[in-house]
Amino acid sequence: MKILKFGRASIGTPERIQRAVSIIEQNRPSVRAVVVSSMNGATDELARIGRLAAEGDESYREYLAGLERMHLDVIKSSIGIRSQSHLLAEAKALFNELDDILQGVFLIKEWTPKTQAFVLSFGERASASIMAGILGRDGDHAEYLDARKLIKTDANFGTAGVDFERTNAGIRRYFIEHPVLQVVAGSIGSTVKDETTSLGRAGSDYAAAILGAVLGADELEIWTADSGIMTADPNKVPGALTIPQMTYEEAMEMSHFGAGAIYPPALQPLLEQDIPLRIRNVLRPELEGTEIRKTLQQIHCGLIRGISSISGISLIRVQGSGMIGVVGIAGRLFSALAREKVNVILIAQASSEHSICAGVSGAEADRAVKVLEREFSLEIRTHLIDQVVVENGLSILAVVGVKMQRTPGIAARIFQALGAEGINVIAAAQGSSELNVSIVIKGGEEAGALKAIHAAFFNADGNPDAGRLGS
């Protein structure tokens, strides 16, 4: 039994919707549920419309009409004229409801997280309703399922936490009572008071993972416009290829450092139940994509699995002789950043304890510096700690692979490849799991560094382990 999930890019146009429908129909005997995101661009457009309405800008009505036309055009291009009327009426009713809500936003000029969650939910609700109608156009039964009926959450409207006890029980009961194919509006849930909430980033992936885990699926397939997780960003490394298999740990490491195919927290339910995930390309359904499992019985790969990167990074450095041997400096540093909700992407500390570096998003750098200057103001005034230093315009590269564990020479090979290209490493870190070596370099050298490392571990045909360690 499978759960299929289609992302925004994979249902962004009438042509892609038809491709998605074809994939579902080919797999239909084994598919229990299909989870869909909003159509490509719909969520961003809904957010813009809501903000305009809250600002009292009447142009929101024009943009709302355009969004409605986009959805109606999809129906008209996907279903014969004789079968359109019911689905068009449902879509119009949904947008009439949205129009009423936005009129209220316009009048009271309020755009709260609660209102945002409700307005943005119309994206997934519209796409799922349309997809269910298209799948059922020839009399094959497919039901639209509003996920708010089943996924129960707390009242943190923008990034709601799931009440798994209520949710799991509701899913089991509902799917026993509804044996036909369910087309699910992903990314949304509701409180015990039936207030609409959002599951946050990658919410549709999260909803699909929850369904897969509760229903005991054999596999979750996420269909995107990409052919899986790549050995590197193909826009920066032309020779990058799809990784056929990888562990959840490897996928999470790569995703943390910029490989955007999956969002780790959203897939935790699958990891806990050891349910395989496969990422596939809706434009190339003949390709197998990337399979992700908790453990792999046979790992046909080289010393590394792939390389990912994040640009626009700032490195914050706290240093001083007064830090040496002093207990609690690191704890204070990270607690201060956490209080200000500054996300730390990378940590590096000198063995002498003379300095600690924290990599953060460039957008958060000024805030990070200010909070650390406040935290260590006494030590800075007494010259125990130097002024906080920030270096902007950097990139982080992460070299990931399960075979890196207990394999000597990996870091040397990375640095050798970078040195040959004249690329300086500003900072480096390796987790205790040995799955990841992370390096910080100047942002302008990111593409060159990716190519150099990729060439050091993959040959011109994309096969692993070009050369030998130490060569």
- The residues of the chain that CATH labels 3.30.2130.10 are 306-457
pLDDT tens digits along 24-71: 999 888 999 999 999 988 999 999 999 999 999 999 999 999 999 999
The yes or no reply on domain 2-225 and CATH 3.40.1160.10 is: yes
The yes or no reply on domain 306-457 and CATH 3.30.2130.10 is: yes
Q: Name the average pLDDT for the chain.
A: 88
Confidence at 131, pLDDT banded by 50, 70, 90: very high
pLDDT tens digits along 3-28: 999 988 888 788 888 899 999 999 88
Return the pLDDT at 124.
Answer: 95
SS (H, E, C) the chain: CEEEEECCHHHCCHHHHHHHHHHHHHCHHHEEEEEECCCCCHHHHHHHHHHHHHCCCCCHHHHHHHHHHHHHHHHHHHCCHHHHHHHHHHHHHHHHHHHHHHHHHHHHCCCCHHHHHHHHHHHHHHHHHHHHHHHCCCCCCEEEEEHHHCCEECCCCCCCCECHHHHHHHHHHHHHHCCCEEEEECCEEECCCCCEEECCCCHHHHHHHHHHHHHCCCEEEEEECCCCCECCCCCCCCCCCECCEEEHHHHHHHHHCCCCCCCHHHHHHHHHHCCCEEEEECCCCCCCCEEEECCCCCCCCCCCCEEEEEEEEEEEEEECHHHCCCCCHHHHHHHHHHHCCCCEEEEEECCCCCEEEEEEEHHHHHHHHHHHHHHCHHHHHCCCCCCCEEEEEEEEEEEECHHHCCCCCHHHHHHHHHHHCCCCCCEEEECCCCCEEEEEEEHHHHHHHHHHHHHHHECCCCCECCCCCCC
Ramachandran angles phi, psi of 262, nearest 5°: -135, 160
**From CA 353, how far away is CA 22, in angstroms rounded?**
59
- The residues of the chain that CATH labels 3.40.1160.10 are 2-225
pLDDT tens digits along 211-223: 999 999 999 999 9
**From CA 242, how far away is CA 284, in angstroms rounded?**
13
pLDDT tens digits along 429-453: 876 566 888 899 999 999 999 999 9
Contact predicate 145/134, CB 8 Å? no
Return the pLDDT at 225.
Answer: 85
pLDDT tens digits along 213-270: 999 999 999 998 888 888 888 888 988 888 888 888 888 888 777 666 677 777 889 9
Higher pLDDT: 370 or 409? It is 370
**From CA 128, how far away is CA 134, in angstroms rounded?**
10
Total-model pTM: 0.84
Higher pLDDT: 442 or 459? It is 442
